[in-house]
């Protein structure tokens, strides 16, 4: 039976190793991963190196103690052939106690120093003059991104430039909350930092590779915490500049879709949403000025297609039950017109 | 000490009472043993309820975009599951065993304050009942009524009026407040009992470790439930008297609640795990046939764990943007705890070393505990390294870590304790084969669920999400986790069946089925009313060893 247990545990260990392998392997297809073990930015990388160090130390401790436990269980099991005599009664040993006090203390000192160094390196990093500043504001179930130096407001999909280690252009994010606690977490770029009302937090990242990075809200913030997804697009400097130029333009005035625009501007939409250069100046929901430049809607809950847009406006609960956008109960014709208007907001 | 003359008249145990009289007796009892049994019974009921909630959670997460339950129901399920398991399962289990065993082990006839004891139990019972009354209150059963959905930390400002209108947060806060008062009452009682009710000869240094650890646990309850209760009252002031402690929309502070909560929350982990240590420290020696290795060191390590555990709370808050200095401080305190904890593991190993291990069910559970506690401690070190924590916190890795602690370490010890003391409490042995089956099934289910659960956390899956996107590598893992959960469920059903059938058909236990050494094994099973006909006197840490081995008594080494 003891052998059975040892075997079982071996199988388990193999399982753990296999799982660890899984974490490193890319997921199927070209889906971007959210594994913390595939970092692509300095803070995430320093964390990764620290975590490997901690993992190695803990693995060694595990093997030693686990070995002792298995040895004890196998070696000292009472054998049926044994006599009824009780084993020698040992009450303790000061030397041994001292040994297993001092060794752990030394390990703790090493771990602490290594950890403190990384804390300092990440938290007290110097902000270069070339850094991009973004303010991220958490809302119940979506993200607002403001670029104060560029005069851009957008939602849910963050665009930042790739950072060349030779000429770093890191992004420094100021984190605020409009309502409850949230947490900004894009595992490949940095550890998470909370967005807390009445408090200003900060985090930074300097992605080394272009591409899409995924993440999501990591602090329970209410009904739709699960669908508060994050998408970070790391652009080449040229792509980023082009993106900035489109975002700075005022909204398409929608002359062609004047019917839809009228629906939009005469219903409550404008109380909650802003469309640059129009009467719509609401701030409760995402800025829609360049809605169509985003690939998803409702914080990543659905792809940004005309069908989804229409469904969203008609019945937000069908896509994201419990979201704070109300169903507006529009007629089918109004819905069609409105969707066509929304599609012009490029 | 005298082992004879135990045949006390068990007053009023005549068979001709109606069930109503029996019920009345149990409800009005102030007897520490009956209250102990009530606590455990109550905890078992809530274990089943919390288990059902866990099952609902696991079915929902079985695959991506599942719609077994709505997000609203899911959020209520994890709130109820967490609150129930911490406050209404593990704590009552621990108080129940402490109540039952401490007087017996220290040679006392009851707790110091029997009425306070009953009062505290019923407060705890009221707390749990209130929490579940929320399901039928408010908008009724459909959609789970006013059941709280704020998570078991109930972080501000989710609990403020603006985000929790209605009464769901009220049920949560009052349930926790009321049961907290119950815990404080029991803790006061346990401290007083251990300090002033010990039998002649039982110096502090001769108490069974169980009594020592109960003392430390009770001290921690007094220190940490107080801020928790204060926070609940402040929250009620916010919600009903226009206070602004945590109401961020009126300038209150969300982080203030976090500090209050975790200054309770971290010691709470030790409130739960120290009694588990206590069980292991009684069971491992008996089934190794050796005294506990390094008794004074074990006491010292526990006391220092108690003290250090008060200074580590903000390791639950590494992501809230504290300064690098505060973060480093809490990294240091957190890692220091690993030292006394490691010492304890080594001492248990030292106890087994050179012994004659008997793998009875209680011992199996304790060995499982040692293994799982080791791993839980090591993942704790990972989480204690703040930068690593920035990635892991709030993810399924944390969920795996603390379930390793609460199920793998604590619940395993509770099972061990039930198999060990059930014969004393009922007079019948639990079925050993069923017990072994329970153990192995539970081990398999546990590891399937909680080993695997670390991985989605590393792959970026946050906790408390009712659904997730496909294609992130989380799907298969979640399916395995759910399968493991079902296996655990089956194991628990087997265990419950064992409890019931052995009560009626189990073999007779006798006074001392395990050849134990502490005073509870000197009296009949179940023990007579008021435990000891004449108060025993002891001369060493293992009075029954002395009695059984007059040629080599412990008193020589005391
Ligand atoms: Cu959120
Ligand atoms: Cu803690």
Q: Are B338 and A104 inside 8 Å of each other by CB?
A: yes
- Can you give the pTM of this predicted structure? 0.94
Do the domain assignments include residue A28?
no
- Residues contacting A174, CB < 8 A, separation 6+: A133, A134, A135, A136, A200, A201, A202
| Nearest ligand by distance to the CA of A221 | 1
Which positions 71-130 of A are in contact with B (Cβ < 8 Å)? 72-73, 76-78, 82, 86-93, 96-97, 100-101, 104-105, 107-108, 111-112, 114-116, 118-120, 122-124
Residue with tokens 């079985």: B62
Report the CATH number at residue A316: 2.60.40.420
- Please write the tens of the pLDDT for every residue from B23-52: 999 999 999 999 999 999 999 999 999 999
Report the CATH number at residue A51: 1.10.287
Q: Are B343 and A97 inside 8 Å of each other by CB?
A: yes
Q: What mean pLDDT do residues B380-397 have?
A: 97
- pLDDT for residue B14: 52
Between CA A157 and CA A293 the distance in angstroms is 10
How remote is the CA of residue B386 from the centroid of ligand 2, in Å?
A: 12
- pLDDT for residue A82: 58
Same-domain check for residues A111 and A179: no
Same-domain check for residues A103 and A148: no
Q: Are B255 and A199 inside 8 Å of each other by CB?
A: yes
Nearest to B145 by CA among B79, B89, B60: B79
How remote is the CA of residue A228 from the centroid of ligand 1, in Å?
A: 6
Q: Does B165 touch chain A (CB under 8 A)?
A: no
Number of domains composing chain A:
3
- Whether A257 shows a pLDDT value over 90: the answer reads no
Which homologous superfamily is B31-548 in? Cytochrome c oxidase-like, subunit I domain (1.20.210.10)
SS3 A233: strand
- Whether B287 shows a pLDDT value over 60: the answer reads yes
Same-domain check for residues A104 and A164: no
Same-domain check for residues A56 and A140: no
- Return the percentage of chain B with pLDDT > 70, whole number: 96
- Whether B2 shows a pLDDT value over 50: the answer reads no
Beta strands in B348-430 (DSSP E): none
Same-domain check for residues A198 and A266: no
How remote is the CA of residue B429 from the centroid of ligand 1, in Å?
A: 51
Q: Are B290 and A89 inside 8 Å of each other by CB?
A: yes
R_g (Cα) of chain B, nearest Å: 23
Q: Does B442 touch chain A (CB under 8 A)?
A: no
Taking CA atoms, what residue in A is nearest to B290?
A89
Task: Find out whether A274 and A283 touch, Cβ atoms under 8 Å.
Answer: yes
Q: What mean pLDDT do residues A161-173 have?
A: 94
Do the domain assignments include residue A27?
no
Question: DSSP letters along B244-280, please?
Answer: -SS-GGGT--HHHHHHHHHHHHHHHHHHHHHHHHHHH
Same-domain check for residues A214 and A265: no
Our CA-based measurement puts residue B118 at a distance from the nearest CA of chain A, in whole angstroms, of 38
**Among A197, A228, A248, residue at a domain's last position:** A248
**Among A221, A248, A275, residue at a domain's last position:** A248
Q: Are B349 and A68 inside 8 Å of each other by CB?
A: yes
Which DSSP state fits A31?
Answer: P
Task: Find out whether A278 and A251 touch, Cβ atoms under 8 Å.
Answer: yes
Same-domain check for residues A264 and A242: no
- Whether A14 shows a pLDDT value over 60: the answer reads no
How remote is the CA of residue B394 from the centroid of ligand 2, in Å?
A: 13
Our CA-based measurement puts residue B34 at a distance from the nearest CA of chain A, in whole angstroms, of 35
How remote is the CA of residue B331 from the centroid of ligand 2, in Å?
A: 11
Domain region containing A165: 132-248
Task: Find out whether B99 and B128 touch, Cβ atoms under 8 Å.
Answer: no
Strands A302-303 and A296-297: antiparallel
How remote is the CA of residue B55 from the centroid of ligand 2, in Å?
A: 26
Q: Are B163 and A180 inside 8 Å of each other by CB?
A: yes
Between CA A300 and CA A323 the distance in angstroms is 13
Between CA B86 and CA B555 the distance in angstroms is 41
Q: Does A172 touch chain B (CB under 8 A)?
A: no
Do the domain assignments include residue A212?
yes
- Please write the tens of the pLDDT for every residue from B185-205: 999 999 999 999 999 999 999
> Which CB contacts under 8 angstroms, 24+ apart, belong to A70-74?
A70/A6, A70/A9, A72/B349, A72/B352, A72/B353, A72/B357, A73/A2, A73/A5, A73/B352, A73/B357, A73/B367, A74/A2, A74/A6
- Please write the tens of the pLDDT for every residue from A53-87: 999 999 999 999 999 999 999 999 887 655 678 88
Q: Are A198 and B549 inside 8 Å of each other by CB?
A: no
How remote is the CA of residue A323 from the centroid of ligand 1, in Å?
A: 12
Taking CA atoms, what residue in A is nearest to B160?
A180
Which DSSP state fits B357?
Answer: B
- Please write the tens of the pLDDT for every residue from B140-176: 555 556 889 999 999 999 999 999 988 889 999 999 9
- Whether B488 shows a pLDDT value over 90: the answer reads yes
Taking CA atoms, what residue in B is nearest to A30?
B471
- Whether A141 shows a pLDDT value over 90: the answer reads yes
Could you tell me the pLDDT band of residue A184, with boundaries at 50, 70 and 90?
Answer: very high
- Please write the tens of the pLDDT for every residue from B57-105: 999 999 999 999 999 999 999 999 999 999 999 999 999 999 999 999 9
Task: Find out whether B93 and B414 touch, Cβ atoms under 8 Å.
Answer: yes
Which DSSP state fits A195?
Answer: E
On chain A, the residues whose CB falls within 8 A of the CB of B163 are: 179-180, 222
Same-domain check for residues A178 and A102: no
Same-domain check for residues A149 and A117: no
């Amino acid at each position: 039976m003891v052998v059975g247990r040892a075997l079982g545990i071996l199988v388990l260990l193999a399982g753990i190793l296999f799982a660890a392998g899984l974490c490193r392997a890319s997921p199927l297809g070209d889906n971007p991963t959210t594994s913390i073990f595939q970092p692509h930015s300095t803070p995430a990388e320093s964390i990764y190196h620290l975590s490997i160090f901690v993992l190695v130390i803990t693995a060694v401790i595990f093997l030693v103690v686990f070995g002792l436990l298995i040895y004890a269980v196998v070696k000292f099991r009472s054998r049926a052939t044994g006599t009824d005599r009780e084993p020698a009664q040992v009450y303790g040993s000061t030397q041994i106690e001292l040994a297993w006090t001092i060794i752990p203390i030394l390990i703790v000192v090493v771990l602490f120093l290594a950890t403190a160094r990384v804390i300092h390196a990440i938290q007290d990093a110097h902000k270069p003059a070339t850094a991009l500043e973004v303010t991220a504001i958490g809302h119940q179930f979506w993200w607002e991104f403001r670029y104060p130096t560029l005069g851009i407001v957008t939602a849910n999909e963050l665009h930042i430039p790739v950072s060349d280690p030779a000429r770093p252009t890191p992004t420094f994010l100021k984190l605020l909350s409009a309502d409850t606690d949230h947490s900004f977490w894009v595992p490949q770029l940095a550890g998470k930092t909370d967005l807390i009302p009445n408090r200003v937090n900060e985090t930074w990242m300097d992605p080394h590779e272009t591409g899409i990075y995924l993440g999501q809200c990591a602090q329970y913030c209410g009904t739709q915490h699960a669908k508060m997804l994050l998408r970070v697009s790391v652009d080449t400097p040229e792509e980023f500049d082009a993106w900035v130029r489109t975002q700075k333009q005022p909204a398409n005035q929608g002359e062609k879709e004047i019917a839809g625009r009228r629906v939009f501007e005469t219903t409550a939409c404008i109380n909650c949403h802003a469309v640059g250069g129009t009467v719509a100046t609401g701030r409760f929901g995402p800025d829609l000025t360049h809605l169509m430049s985003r690939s998803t809607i409702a914080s990543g809950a659905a792809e940004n297609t005309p069908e989804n847009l229409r469904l969203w406006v008609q019945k937000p609960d069908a896509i994201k039950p419990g979201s704070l956008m109300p169903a507006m109960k529009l007629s089918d014709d109004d819905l069609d017109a409105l969707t066509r208007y929304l599609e012009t907001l490029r | 000490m005298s082992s004879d003359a135990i045949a006390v008249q068990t007053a009023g145990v005549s068979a001709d009472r109606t069930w109503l009289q029996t019920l009345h007796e149990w409800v009005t009892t102030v007897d520490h043993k009956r209250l102990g049994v009530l606590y455990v019974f109550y905890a078992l009921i809530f274990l089943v309820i919390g288990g059902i909630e866990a099952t609902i959670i696991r079915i929902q997460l079985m695959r991506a975009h599942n719609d077994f339950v709505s997000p609203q129901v899911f959020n209520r399920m994890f709130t109820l599951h967490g609150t129930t398991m911490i406050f209404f399962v593990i704590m009552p289990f621990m108080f129940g065993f402490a109540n039952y065993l401490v007087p017996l082990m220290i040679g006392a006839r009851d707790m110091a304050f029997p009425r306070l004891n009953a009062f505290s139990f019923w407060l705890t019972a009221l707390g749990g009942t209130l929490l579940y009354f929320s399901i039928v209150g408010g908008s009724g059963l459909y959609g789970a009524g006013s059941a709280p959905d704020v998570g078991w930390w109930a972080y501000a400002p989710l609990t403020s009026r603006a985000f929790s209108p209605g009464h769901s947060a009220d049920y949560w806060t009052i349930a926790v407040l009321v049961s907290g008062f119950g815990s404080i009452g029991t803790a006061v009682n346990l401290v007083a009992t251990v300090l002033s009710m010990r039998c002649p000869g039982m110096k502090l240094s001769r108490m069974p470790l169980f009594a020592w650890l109960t003392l430390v646990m009770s001290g921690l309850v007094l220190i940490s439930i107080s801020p928790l209760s204060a926070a609940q009252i402040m929250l009620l002031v916010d919600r009903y008297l226009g206070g602004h402690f945590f109401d961020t929309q009126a300038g209150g502070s969300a982080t203030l609640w976090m500090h209050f909560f975790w200054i309770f929350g971290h010691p709470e982990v030790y409130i739960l795990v120290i009694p588990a240590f206590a069980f292991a420290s009684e069971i491992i020696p008996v089934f190794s046939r050796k005294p506990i290795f390094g008794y004074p060191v074990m006491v010292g390590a526990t006391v220092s764990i108690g003290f250090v555990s008060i200074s580590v709370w903000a390791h639950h808050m590494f992501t809230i943007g504290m300064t690098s200095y505060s973060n480093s401080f809490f990294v240091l305190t957190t890692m220091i705890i690993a030292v006394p904890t490691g010492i304890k593991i080594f001492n248990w190993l030292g106890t087994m070393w050179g012994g004659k291990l008997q793998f009875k069910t209680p011992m199996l559970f304790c060995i499982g505990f040692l293994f799982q506690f080791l791993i839980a401690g090591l993942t704790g070190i990972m989480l204690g390294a703040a930068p690593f924590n920035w990635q892991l916190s709030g993810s399924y890795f944390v969920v795996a870590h603390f379930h390793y602690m609460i199920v793998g370490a604590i619940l395993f010890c509770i099972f061990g304790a039930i198999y060990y003391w059930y014969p004393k409490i009922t007079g019948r042995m639990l079925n050993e084969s069923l017990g072994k089956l329970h153990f192995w099934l539970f081990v398999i289910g546990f590891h399937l669920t909680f080993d695997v659960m670390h991985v989605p956390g590393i792959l970026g899956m946050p906790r408390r999400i009712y659904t997730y996107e496909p294609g992130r590598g989380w799907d298969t893992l979640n399916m395995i986790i759910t399968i493991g959960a079902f296996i655990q469920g089956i194991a628990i059903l087997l265990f419950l069946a064992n409890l019931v059938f052995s009560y009626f058909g189990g073999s007779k236990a006798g006074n001392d089925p395990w050849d134990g050494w502490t005073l509870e094994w000197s009296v009949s099973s179940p023990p007579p009313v008021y435990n000891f006909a004449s108060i025993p006197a002891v001369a060493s840490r293992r009075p029954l060893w002395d009695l059984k081995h007059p040629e080599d008594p412990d008193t020589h080494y005391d």
